[in-house]
Amino acid sequence: MRTQIIVLSCLKYMERQPPMAAQLIETSPIAENVFVAEKLREVADLLDQQAAAQFRVRAYREAANYVATLPDPIRTVYQIQGGRGLEDLPTIGVSIAAAIAELLDTGALGVLDRLRGSLDPEKLFQTVPMIGPTLARAIHDELHIDTLEALEAAAVDGRLKSVKGMGQRRVDSIRHSLNDLLARRRPSGPRKGTAEPSIADILAVDQEYRSAADALPAIKPRRFNETGNRRIPILHTERGQWQFTALYSNSASAHQYGRTRDWVVIYFERDGHAEGQATVITQHGGALDGRRIVRGREKFCAEFYGV
């Protein structure tokens, strides 16, 4: 009887789920657990291959093993308790809970695509109402962001309005759409305040990455790689409580302006905080000319360099 109730609860949500997720639920009430576990295990394997810290590899493997052995659908926890319910499960913290929520909502996982070299932010942004191909490309190229969470942050702090073709009404509409799309991924209770690494740490990771690029593991991007020969070095490193992943930008603008070995995208996270990202570039012109800076944080970079 309990299993029947769980299945009926899941089926009520099938129309709102991606085709793959709906298929899995229809096949078996716990088949989706296996799907989620497999994706988490793939992340662990790729992190291991790319020389990430073993505690990160273990975290994903332990979460995968736990989800694979759950007797009830993990989707039920997510539907009833949201992101906080996932975070409260054994072996699953904020970052992995967000990954599971993304899988349950979309059937895809951004961090996995990034590690594989198959990330396509422009396609992702087009899932948001009022964002077509041209605008999606402009957002990615001008703001250097890759996730819906980062897009929502840009809508809130005013950066999105600076993109050509954006008015306040469209920004508000996109913000509301993102709020609806991401609402269930957020925890139900209060969270720790937002935080970012220091400028010093971000620039140090940028320096470490560019200095070691030739010796690092590399991914083969699917975008802008018609021959299949192009490789992008990838670095996983830690500073204090922060974990970082760094790789050269593979955006259309980076290719257009010949900056594919200059612009570095850095993803960061730490326990209790969702993932964030920054882009480091060489500044051309002005008081910071020739220096490495974090886009959008020029004021703090000026303070860091004392100019």
DSSP 201-266: HHHHHHHHHHHHGGGS-EE--STT-TTS---EEEEEEEETTEEEEEEE--SHHHHHTT-TTT-EEE
- pLDDT bin (cut points 50, 70, 90) of residue 147 is confident
Do residues 236 and 53 make contact, with C-beta atoms less than 8 angstroms apart?
yes
Report yes or no on whether pTM surpasses 0.95. no
pLDDT at 41 over 80: yes
Angstrom distance (rounded) from CA 298 to CA 198: 13
Among residues 6, 23, 295, which one has the least CA distance to residue 162? 295
Average per-residue pLDDT for the chain: 85
263-284: b or e for each residue (b if 16 or more CB lie within 10 Å)? bbbbbbbbeebbbbbbbbbebe
Please list the alpha-helical segments (H only) found in the chain: 2-11, 19-27, 31-49, 54-68, 74-87, 94-106, 110-116, 121-125, 133-143, 148-157, 168-182, 199-212, 252-256, 298-305
Share of the chain above pLDDT 90, in %: 57
* Digit-coded pLDDT (tens) for 181-202: 787 666 544 444 457 899 999 9
What is the amino acid identity at position 18? Answer: P
The pLDDT value given to residue 30: 84
Compare 303 and 121 and report the one with higher pLDDT. 303
Backbone angles phi, psi at 206, to 5 degrees: -60, -45
Helix/strand/coil (H/E/C) assignment for every residue in 204-217:
HHHHHHHHHHHHCC
The residue-averaged pLDDT of 75-89 equals: 91
Do residues 251 and 64 make contact, with C-beta atoms less than 8 angstroms apart?
no
Beta-carbon contacts of residue 52 (< 8 Å; ≥ 6 apart) = 236, 245
What is the amino acid identity at position 140? Answer: H
